[in-house]
A and B are shown apart, each in its own frame.
Chain A
Amino acid sequence: MVPGLLTVSKNTKRSIVKAFFSVALTLAVTSAVFLINNINPVVAFIYMFQGAFGDINLLSETLIRMTPILIVSLGLAVSFRCKIWNIGAEGQLYIGAMFGTIVAIGIGGGPLSLLAALFVGAIGGLLWAAGPALMKVKLGINEVITTFLMNFVGIYLVQWMISYPFRSPDTYFPESAAIPSTSALAVILPGTRLHLGVALALMLVPAVYFILERTTFGYKVKVVGENPEAARYGGMEIGKVIFVSLVFSGLLAGLAGITEVLGIQFRVRGSLSPGYGYTGIVVALMGNNNPWGVALASLFLAAIMNGSSTLAWMMNIPMGIVDLMQGLLFIFVLASEPLVRFLERRGVLKL
């Protein structure tokens, strides 16, 4: 038995309890919404669960859904630890997908095309975050505003690119040409659509954990986020840490975008992402900016998304339920912190 493996730190325990409260409260309010609409919430949640995990196909679809969410939110976890609120992941994702797709098509298939596409996609996301990062570090302009505005610039730009210069000649709707089939991420479970991107995303979890917990950069990120004064006295180059953590989150957002293209969609469409960049914000916070927590949270959100399509089909509940649950989850993730603190003070909860 490795010592320390089973001893859970107080911090970890708190995050687990907080996540538990946020999920419970979200399900409670969602149940109330179901009841108002004369829907049995227990039946609804069972359908949701079945829709997400019911058989090997549904399970692999949920893992496919988890992939872009996980990659995006791992990056966001790094910038959020630094208290840098990148809410531009959606635009960074689209730009990454577009850049990578152009390269994949340009090289024209084969492993080199795949690797180059992944690389350039990630760089595209990084570049899209670099502008707000520079504005933050050099001019002190709030990154929340600039990253959000860059979403609109990026998404309109991609829409223009798939409508004109990079439009597929043989489709009616605006979309890019398809990537060569030899550039695609291989299917890893025959009979399903589960692709190599899932493995890539899962490998990133320990990688980001390592960066955050075992490198000087990770240490600096934490200090700058928790105590900028101490960081300044300690002689850290705060600007540099902020810049790197913000462009790193852009890098992963871009990677998420191109992975989605290479693994499952095979071309860039206007509907490439149903808001993964925003879902990632909730996921990163729910996972307490810890990669393992983020992995569980992204599986949970992916399950809600996929489960809700079964729900829509079986019980005629609109798909918007995903967005509603996501918003509730966000509020309760935040509120769980004072709630746990309150319960601890009252002695109800001992951690």
Chain B
Amino acid sequence: MIEWLVWTGLAAATLRVAAPLLLASLGETIAERGGLLNLGVQGAMLVGAFSGFMGAYFSGSLWIGLVSAMIGGILATLLFGILVINLDLDQVVSGLAINLLASGLTLYFTRLLFTGGVSPYLGDLFGPLMIPVLCEIPVLGEVLFSQTGFVYFGLISVPLIHILLTKTTFGLRLRSIGEDPVIASYLGINVAKMRYAALIAEGILAGLAGGMLTISMFNTFDPRIVAARGFVAVSIVILGRWNPWGALGGSLLFGFTEALSLRIGILFPDLSGASMNQLFALLPYLVALVALVVGGRGVRGPASLGKRMGRER
């Protein structure tokens, strides 16, 4: 019986831990479909986590935290946009620059604002939203219908973004830019405007992904809170073949690994003991690498992904 509860808990935790990865990888999917390889998604998540926490902490309202998380994420992706769209700089390096600037900014201001550089805890957090009736279903209710709003939002976004990318004019145009921005611009598509729109969408999703870490999961801010989630999200986009459903699959895989690595001691008492803690902690990253080896070989993304426009040369 206890074992059963542990497995149900593991399934629920998988979804919970997968949610930030799902939101970020959906955002990255949109940007990459438009030809922008934004490694700065990691930095956008960090800024979202930071601004979400600060917004909630200083206003006392989680909803203001939510909005400021989105704004923070958008600011980070817009800065990326300036570097790669307006200045036509290398996408990979610009993404890394965003990440380093994000960690510098958040570290400095955390240390400036809080004595000892340690953020306090929020009084309140976005807890689980029980869906009436459905949450009473055994097992399924706990796993699927007793999650936070962030999880539901992520799950609902999957089909919506799929429709956006495949069934709308916006999606069609964005994908044609992703294949060849020069030809797209000959066809009268405003490449810069479309790419900025994609980056704003990514900023919202990445900001929420980061914000949910501080205002819904951990309840506090630490400059290392995002860990490698942004880069894992970029891996998920590759594994998911630049497709929202694929992003869902990949996020669940990594969510499961992370949830499992936190519970190995409970599920397999033979392996338990603190002496293995750090080894469990590295498991999700190892799984990400193995998954890339198995599922990432020879896959082809949008043709213009990561390439400069090269107007000036």
Q: Which residues of A contact B112 (CB under 8 A)?
A: 37, 318, 320
Tally of contact residues, A, Cβ under 8 A: 47
Interface presence of B289 (CB below 8 A): yes
Of the residues A150, A163, A285, A335, contact of B83 by C-beta under 8 Å: A335
Is residue A321 contacting chain B, with contact meaning CB distance below 8 A? yes
A153, B100: Cβ atoms closer than 8 Å: no
A175 to chain B, nearest CB (A): 14
Contact of B289 among A140, A153, A281, A335 (CB under 8 A): A153
B293 and A325 contact, CB distance less than 8 A: no
Q: Tally B residues with Cβ within 8 Å of A.
A: 49
Interface residues of B (CB under 8 A from A): 39, 79, 83, 87-90, 92-94, 96-97, 100-105, 107-112, 117, 227-228, 231-232, 234-235, 238, 275-279, 281-282, 285-286, 288-289, 292-293, 296-298, 312
Assembled-state Cα–Cα distance A87/B230 (Å): 14
Is A203's beta carbon under 8 Å from chain B? no
Please determine whether B100 and A281 come into contact, CB atoms closer than 8 angstroms.
yes
Q: List chain A positions with a Cβ less than 8 A from chain B.
A: 33, 37, 85, 87, 131, 135, 139-142, 144-146, 148-153, 156-157, 159-160, 163-164, 278, 281-282, 285, 318-328, 330-331, 334-335, 337-338, 341
Considering the chains assembled together, what is the distance between the CA atoms of A37 and B109 in angstroms? 11
Q: Which residue in A146, A164, A319 is a CB contact (below 8 Å) of B111? A: A319
Contact in complex: B292, A334 (CB < 8 Å): no
CA distance in complex: A148, B112 (Å): 28
CB contact between A282 and one of B100, B297, B312 (< 8 Å): that residue: B100
Q: Is the CB of A148 within 8 A of B278?
A: no
Which residues of chain A are near B288, meaning CB under 8 Å? Answer: 149
Beta-carbon contact of B232 and A149 below 8 Å: yes
B275 / chain A contacts, CB cutoff of 8 Å: 163-164
**Would you list the 7 A-B pairs with minimal beta carbon distance, nearest first?**
A327-B104, A327-B101, A318-B111, A320-B108, A156-B282, A160-B278, A323-B104
Taking the closest CB of chain B, its distance from the CB of A314, in whole angstroms, is 16
Among B97, B101, B102, B312, the residue within 8 A (CB) of A341 is B312
CA distance A144 to B232 in the complex (A): 11
C-alpha spacing A335/B83, complex, angstroms: 7
**Is the beta-carbon distance between B292 and A141 smaller than 8 angstroms?**
yes
**Closest residue of chain A to B89, judged by CB?**
A334
